[in-house]
């Protein structure tokens, strides 16, 4: 699930490009390929054995298409990154093809079906297996080996999400994690101490209760202690399931383990927040109008790192804390967006050069400016990112206890089925306990997984 | 008599009141668009939806105009306009021609052909999306350097010049209502079918043509998926695509989006107002000659 | 001269006649663009869509022939049956409701009142207003907490409903919004049709002593039947293909699944679940249903539609 909005005035393309050039010039190591010597190993596909240790591409002039989704700020940023790449590699032309999230997949699939696929395109972590298993992605391992590219320079979970037993089918481009946002003004007003890394579920409920108020005495709550989105596992319930010792998929990935008591307990916690402790609004209330935290109606929110620019634009004075830990420990989820190469690309070498560049510190610092996601380059994460805005350090640290958002074939169908049950009977109305609902739906989920 | 006049007046007043109340209701979303386009992000959901913005924030319009790199909203606007005009022109001509044939002539397979035409309305586009795409990819394009239609704007309007079910159906209904004797009289005078079509039927069908123009323009203007699927570069995109970028995956940038939507509205309102004259009762049409 | 005047001079006579000499060639000329379009742009893709329905296809790899399996699977799929039920419900309520309201509105808007052009434009606005804007305003109206609708019914003592988020009320809520939005387009068609009714007929009826209601029933309604027929068939086809309104106001999954319609089911399977063959099969069932209904509707023309 990718980020969306940004803050303030989007820079014109020219200014952004200028900035990118500046960063590239005075930032750290600029060249996209990492470390080490290039052994004279087997000739790489299409290129005459030249080790691409520094200046990169040495093949024939190529034009590649790079497809992304995004909002105007992300598009501007990615276009600027592409421009910088082109300046450094004059024989490669990158055409950036953009669309919004919804239409992106329609366009991609139609294109592949019609034989008109982009060379490089953005890939959402959970959907990766559906594409990789259908053999439309190019294995980048030969290129990695040929160039001696060091995968450890990138965030581990990010790389792992695009690794299969056979090879490496993409590089991560940016990451998103989940944390606890809190509204400082509301906390100060109620005299409650800010959340920190000692918090657990009980502390969360306790603080939320103090922050849920009916300020005008009309019988309905005007301020909620807590808010999160329940229509997707990423925003909170995935983490609470882990925090309670449960999981979504079995280790072999062939069946679901959501029917266990531990998993059910994680989801039950959220149902209780809404219907028992009453510190969170009925999801129907904010379903259409959007984020309660952004509107200043909720004092805390469990949500993604992509919302920082949104909250800043809304003028909320917020802080960021780690998610409270549960009975089984502290966990959060991480969801990478990757750059993958189409298997049928006519310019695989040029495509690989570009994919490498997207993960390079220079491009990553450019991406970081948006504050809408975490960089994948460890160097940038530990360096400029951690101080780029208040709370960034919390995000960066959370990678230590973050697990990958489940990613498997049939992801869309699985989540539609599962959320259908959860939304109707667990979150929007307390018709069933989490355990009951899960017990009811697990057989269908297993059947679905078995059929993939 | 006076009493009847008073009754007529009070009935008229009641009608006015009801119509205007209804009109206000109809205008509510439009008003919301206008007001939102002038608010800041924070104000959009912070206050009641139809409340007035705190200072009109015209910069939303500027931001919307320049939001994407390398192109302005103006480019999208012109692209949309070009496509809408091409589509409308194509449909007006080819649908009226086909409608004329269906309404006034007898020929073999007339029934089945009309049925086939209508059947195309029923097929959901989601399913023909991919086959259509594959088709346009395979058709040779004599006018383009690449020899292909992919990446050009042609798939978005060429089809309009090859007939259409809705337009043909609408105009056929209208043509059927025109008395045959007019054509007979003209035929006696030596006119051929084309002349009868052009000089008699078309002028009489202005309300229907105006209707078709409005609908075709609107559908072309609002088409989101086709431009996205067939076009590759930002400078070819249309307003609907430009607006979609503000939608966001989870949180929308409503002010900029509504600013864009306001700008996009303008041609359709103008078209509708211009077409109104064809709906006014009893207007004298000057189309008939001889 | 107006069409009305023409009818006075040359009153129409019904009756068919055989083809005139050379008419076939002229017909070909007039139909040429349409025929090319049908053959090239419609026939191909439709045949392909049928072929696809006999396969299992994920768009990314080659299709695999499975015969009629998709069709059998559909009828065992609870989600498909729910989509079918929702779509039928939507259609059989929204079509008559929309026709009735838009007819009344068109007649009201056909008066030669001052400022009527302005008022007409106001009624047309929802049609061209951004679908997202329309959806958001209605989301506000339907808002469970402080929405206008809840406030309104609260006055009469009814408890606040969740409307769009409530599985029971979600579809009706969507119907109201779409009927409201669709009024503009049907009204235009009716207005065009109303123009075609000669004033003379009304005058003649008045002279005969007919009151307003009688004039409506005897003159307006019969002569408007071609437009009613046209609006009706389009409304029927359109209702079965409802997608945008659902997508904007109450997308399945945000948060209830109760609003899933046939087209959404097709879209979901074709583009999200990698089951394009299955989606194509569903679209053929949709096609057959609508085609059957249309044939019935067309046959009924003879009974109630009066052409000149």
Examine the pLDDT at A1 and tell me if it is beyond 50: no
pLDDT for the residue A266 = 96
ipTM of the complex: 0.82
For residue A115, count other CB atoms closer than 10 A to its CB.
12
In a domain? residue C10:
no
Q: Are residues A214 and A243 both part of a single domain?
A: yes
Q: Which of A335-339, C14-18, C183-187 shows the lowest mean pLDDT across its residues?
A: C14-18
Across the range A429-446, mean pLDDT stands at 94
In a domain? residue C14:
no
Q: Please tell me what DSSP assigns to residue A153.
A: G
pLDDT for the residue A43 = 39
The per-residue pLDDT for range C22-76, each reduced to its tens digit, is 778 888 999 999 999 998 888 888 888 889 999 999 999 999 999 999 999 999 9
Q: Are residues A233 and A357 both part of a single domain?
A: no
pLDDT for the residue B128 = 84
State whether B128 and C48 contact (CB < 8 Å): yes
Q: Are residues C28 and C153 both part of a single domain?
A: no
pLDDT for the residue C247 = 77
- Shortest CA gap B165–chain C (Å): 9
In a domain? residue A6:
no
The per-residue pLDDT for range C231-245, each reduced to its tens digit, is 888 888 888 888 877
Beta strand ranges found along A268-370 (DSSP E):
298-304, 318-321, 332-341
Alpha helices, H only, A122-260: 128-132, 141-147, 156-160, 184-190, 201-210, 237-243
Across the range A310-314, mean pLDDT stands at 86
C137 touches chain B (CB under 8 A): yes
Within the 116-135 window of chain C, which residues sit less than 8 Å (CB to CB) from chain B?
Answer: 117, 119-134
Nearest one of A246, A305, A306, A235 to A273, comparing CA atoms: A235
Q: Are residues A319 and A424 both part of a single domain?
A: yes
Which chains reach chain A with 3 or more Cβ–Cβ distances below 8 angstroms? B, C
pLDDT for the residue B91 = 96
What is the C-alpha separation between A242 and A257, in angstroms, rounded? 12
Which residues lie closer than 8 Å to C164 by C-beta, 6 or more apart? A284, A287, A288, C139, C142, C170, C173, C174, C249, C250, C256
Q: Which of A28-32, A186-190, B202-206 shows the lowest mean pLDDT across its residues?
A: A28-32
B228 touches chain C (CB under 8 A): no
Substitution target in C31, C102, C191, C199 with the highest count of B β-carbons within 10 Å is: C31
How many domains does chain A fold into? 2
In a domain? residue A48:
yes
Instruction: Quote the domain boundaries for residue A114.
Output: 13-176+335-393
Chain A residues whose CB is inside 8 A of the C162 CB are: 282, 284, 428
Q: Are residues A229 and A246 both part of a single domain?
A: yes
User: Which residue positions in chain B have pLDDT lower than 50?
Assistant: 281-290
C140 touches chain B (CB under 8 A): yes
Instruction: Quote the domain boundaries for residue C142.
Output: 61-304
Q: Are residues C138 and C187 both part of a single domain?
A: yes
Q: Are residues C91 and C27 both part of a single domain?
A: no
Q: Are residues A185 and A330 both part of a single domain?
A: yes
Q: Are residues C76 and C183 both part of a single domain?
A: yes
pLDDT for the residue B250 = 58
Q: Are residues A344 and A242 both part of a single domain?
A: no
Q: Are residues A149 and A237 both part of a single domain?
A: no
C215 touches chain A (CB under 8 A): no
Q: Are residues C78 and C113 both part of a single domain?
A: yes
In a domain? residue C293:
yes
The confidence band for C3, taking pLDDT boundaries of 50, 70 and 90, is low
Beta strand ranges found along chain C (DSSP E):
55-56, 64-65
In a domain? residue C1:
no
A134 touches chain C (CB under 8 A): yes
**β-strand partners of A280:** A226
Find the CB nearest A287 among C61, C135, C255: C255
pLDDT for the residue A50 = 33
Chain A residues whose CB is inside 8 A of the C145 CB are: 220, 285
Examine the pLDDT at A48 and tell me if it is beyond 60: no
Find the CB nearest C11 among B32, B118, B179: B179
The confidence band for C251, taking pLDDT boundaries of 50, 70 and 90, is low
pLDDT for the residue A52 = 38
In a domain? residue A5:
no
Find the CB nearest B130 among A101, A110, A290: A110
% of chain C beyond a pLDDT of 70: 90
In a domain? residue A165:
yes
In a domain? residue C80:
yes
Q: Are residues C45 and C81 both part of a single domain?
A: no
Last residue of a domain, one of A344, A365, A393: A393
Strands A318-321 and A224-228: unpaired
Residue bearing the bigger pLDDT, C97 or C155: C97
Nearest one of A146, A83, A102 to A362, comparing CA atoms: A83
C126 in Cβ contact with C134 (< 8 Å) = yes
Q: Which of A359-368, A413-422, C200-209 shows the lowest mean pLDDT across its residues?
A: C200-209
Examine the pLDDT at A53 and tell me if it is beyond 50: no
B156 touches chain C (CB under 8 A): no
* Domain CATH code at residue A274: 3.40.190.10
Across the range C107-113, mean pLDDT stands at 79
Q: Are residues A273 and A327 both part of a single domain?
A: yes
Examine the pLDDT at A220 and tell me if it is beyond 80: no
Which segment, A93-102, A172-181, C1-10, C127-136, is predicted with the most confidence on average? A172-181
pLDDT for the residue C307 = 67
Substitution target in C246, C260, C271 with the highest count of A β-carbons within 10 Å is: C271
How many domains does chain C fold into? 2
pLDDT for the residue C209 = 80
The confidence band for C5, taking pLDDT boundaries of 50, 70 and 90, is low
C39 touches chain B (CB under 8 A): no
C273 touches chain B (CB under 8 A): no
The per-residue pLDDT for range C65-92, each reduced to its tens digit, is 999 999 999 999 989 999 999 999 999 9
State whether C255 and A283 contact (CB < 8 Å): yes
A228 in Cβ contact with A290 (< 8 Å) = no
Peptide bond before residue B224 is cis, with ω within 30 degrees of 0: no
Q: Are residues A18 and A114 both part of a single domain?
A: yes
Q: Are residues A143 and A218 both part of a single domain?
A: no
pTM: 0.84
Q: Are residues C38 and C140 both part of a single domain?
A: no
Q: Are residues A311 and A432 both part of a single domain?
A: yes
Q: Are residues C226 and C250 both part of a single domain?
A: yes
End-to-end Cα, chain A, rounded Å: 22
Last residue of a domain, one of C34, C52, C70: C52
What is the C-alpha separation between A18 and A16, in angstroms, rounded? 5
In a domain? residue C256:
yes
Across the range C250-266, mean pLDDT stands at 75
Last residue of a domain, one of A393, A419, A435: A393
Q: Are residues C107 and C169 both part of a single domain?
A: yes
List, in order of start, the domains of chain B with CATH numbers: 27-57 (no CATH), 68-278 (1.10.3720.10)
What is the C-alpha separation between B253 and A260, in angstroms, rounded? 40
- Shortest CA gap C68–chain A (Å): 18
A419 touches chain C (CB under 8 A): yes
Q: Are residues C299 and C192 both part of a single domain?
A: yes
Across the range C241-258, mean pLDDT stands at 71
Find the CB nearest C195 among B93, B279, B288: B279
In a domain? residue A2:
no
Across the range A102-130, mean pLDDT stands at 92
């Amino acid at each position: 699930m990718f980020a969306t909005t940004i803050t303030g005035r989007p820079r014109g393309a020219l200014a952004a490009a200028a900035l990118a050039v500046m960063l590239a010039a005075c930032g750290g190591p600029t060249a996209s390929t990492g470390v080490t010597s290039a052994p004279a190993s087997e000739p790489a596909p299409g290129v005459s054995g030249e080790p691409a240790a520094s200046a990169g591409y040495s093949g024939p002039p190529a034009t590649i298409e790079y497809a992304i989704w995004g909002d105007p700020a992300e598009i501007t940023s990615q276009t600027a990154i592409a421009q910088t790449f082109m300046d450094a590699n004059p024989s490669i032309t990158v055409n950036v093809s953009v669309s919004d999230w919804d239409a992106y997949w329609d366009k991609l699939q139609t294109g592949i079906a019609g034989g008109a696929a982009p060379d490089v395109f953005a890939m959402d972590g959970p959907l990766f297996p559906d594409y990789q298993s259908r053999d439309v992605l190019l294995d980048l391992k030969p290129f990695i080996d040929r160039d001696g590219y060091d995968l450890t320079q990138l965030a581990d979970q990010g790389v792992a999400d695009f690794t299969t037993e056979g090879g490496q089918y993409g590089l991560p481009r940016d990451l998103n994690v989940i944390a606890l946002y809190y509204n400082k003004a509301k906390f100060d007003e109620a005299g409650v101490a800010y959340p920190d890394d000692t918090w657990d579920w009980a502390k969360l409920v306790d603080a939320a209760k103090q922050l849920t108020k009916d300020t005008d005495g009309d019988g309905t709550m005007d301020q909620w202690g807590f808010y999160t989105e329940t229509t997707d596992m990423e925003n909170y319930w995935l983490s609470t399931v882990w925090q309670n010792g449960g999981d979504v998929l079995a280790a072999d990935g062939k069946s679901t383990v959501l029917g266990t008591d531990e998993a059910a307990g994680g989801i039950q916690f959220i149902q209780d927040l809404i219907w028992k402790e009453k510190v969170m609004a009925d999801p129907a209330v904010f379903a259409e109008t959007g984020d309660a935290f952004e509107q200043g109606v909720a004092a805390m929110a469990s949500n993604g790192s992509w919302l920082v620019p949104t909250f800043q634009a809304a003028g909320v004075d917020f802080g960021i804390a780690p998610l409270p830990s549960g009975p089984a420990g502290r966990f959060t989820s991480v969801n990478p967006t990757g750059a993958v190469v189409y298997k049928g690309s006519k310019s695989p070498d040029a495509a690989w050069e570009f994919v490498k560049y997207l993960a390079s510190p220079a491009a990553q610092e450019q991406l970081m400016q948006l504050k809408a996601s975490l960089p994948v380059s460890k160097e940038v994460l530990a360096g400029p990112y951690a101080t780029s805005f208040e709370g960034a350090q919390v995000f960066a640290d959370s990678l230590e206890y973050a697990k990958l958002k489940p990613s498997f074939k049939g992801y869309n169908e699985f989540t539609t089925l599962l959320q259908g049950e959860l939304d109707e009977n667990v979150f929007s109305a307390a018709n069933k306990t989490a355990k009951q609902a899960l017990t009811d739906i697990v057989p269908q989920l297993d059947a679905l997984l078995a059929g993939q | 008599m006076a009493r009847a006049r008073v009754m007529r007046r009070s009935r008229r007043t009641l009608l006015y009141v009801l119509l205007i109340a209804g009109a206000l209701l109809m205008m509510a979303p439009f008003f919301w668009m206008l007001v939102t386009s002038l608010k800041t992000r924070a104000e959009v959901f912070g206050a009641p939806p139809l409340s007035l913005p705190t200072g009109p924030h015209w910069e939303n319009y500027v931001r919307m105009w320049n939001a994407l790199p390398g192109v302005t909203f103006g480019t999208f606007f012109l692209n949309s306009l070009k496509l809408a005009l091409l589509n409308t022109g194509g449909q007006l001509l080819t649908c009226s021609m086909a409608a004329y044939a269906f309404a006034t002539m007898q020929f073999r397979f007339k029934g089945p052909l009309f049925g086939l035409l209508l059947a195309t309305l029923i097929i959901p586009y989601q399913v023909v999306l991919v086959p259509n795409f594959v088709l346009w990819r395979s058709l040779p394009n004599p006018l383009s350097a690449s020899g292909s239609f992919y990446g050009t704007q042609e798939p978005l309007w060429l089809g309009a010049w090859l007939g259409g079910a809705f337009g043909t159906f609408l105009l056929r209904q209208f043509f059927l209502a025109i008395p045959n004797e007019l054509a007979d009289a003209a035929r006696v005078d030596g006119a051929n079918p084309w002349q009868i079509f052009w000089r008699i039927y078309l002028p009489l069908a202005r309300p229907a043509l105006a209707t078709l123009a409005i609908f075709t323009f609107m559908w072309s203007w609002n088409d989101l998926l086709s431009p996205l699927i067939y076009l590759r570069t930002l400078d070819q995109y249309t307003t609907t695509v430009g607006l979609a970028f503000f939608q966001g995956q989870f949180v929308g940038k409503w002010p900029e989006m509504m600013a864009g939507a306001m700008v996009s509205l303008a041609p359709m309102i103008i078209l509708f107002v211009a077409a109104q004259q064809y709906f006014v009762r009893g207007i004298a049409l000057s189309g008939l000659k001889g | 001269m107006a069409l009305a005047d023409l009818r006075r001079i040359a009153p129409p006579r019904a009756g068919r006649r055989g083809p005139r000499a050379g008419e076939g060639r002229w017909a070909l000329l007039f139909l040429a663009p349409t025929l090319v379009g049908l053959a090239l742009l419609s026939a191909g893709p439709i045949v392909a869509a049928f072929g696809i329905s006999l396969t299992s296809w994920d768009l990314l790899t080659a299709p695999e022939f499975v015969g009629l399996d998709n069709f059998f699977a559909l009828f065992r799929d609870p989600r498909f049956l729910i989509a079918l039920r929702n779509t039928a419900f939507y259609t059989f309520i929204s079509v008559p409701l929309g026709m009735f309201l838009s007819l009344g509105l068109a007649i009201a808007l056909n008066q030669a009142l001052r400022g009527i052009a302005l008022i007409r434009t106001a009624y047309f606005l929802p049609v061209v207003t951004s679908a997202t804007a329309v959806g958001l305003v209605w989301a506000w109206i339907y808002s469970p907490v402080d929405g206008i609708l809840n406030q309104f019914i609260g006055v009469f003592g009814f408890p606040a409903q969740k409307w769009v988020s409530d599985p029971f009320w979600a579809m009706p809520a969507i119907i109201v919004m779409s009927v409201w939005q669709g009024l503009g387009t049907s009204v235009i068609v009716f207005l065009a049709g109303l123009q075609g009714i000669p004033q003379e007929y009304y005058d003649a009826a008045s002279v005969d002593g007919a009151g307003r209601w009688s004039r409506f029933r005897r003159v307006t309604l019969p002569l408007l039947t071609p437009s009613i027929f046209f609006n009706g068939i389009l409304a029927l086809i359109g209702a079965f293909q409802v997608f945008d309104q659902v997508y904007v106001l109450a997308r399945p999954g945000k948060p209830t699944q109760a609003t899933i319609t046939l087209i959404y089911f097709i879209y979901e399977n074709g583009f999200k679940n990698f089951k394009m063959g299955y989606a194509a099969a569903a679209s053929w069932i949709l096609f057959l249903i609508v085609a059957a209904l249309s044939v019935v509707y067309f046959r009924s023309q003879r009974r109630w539609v009066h052409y000149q």
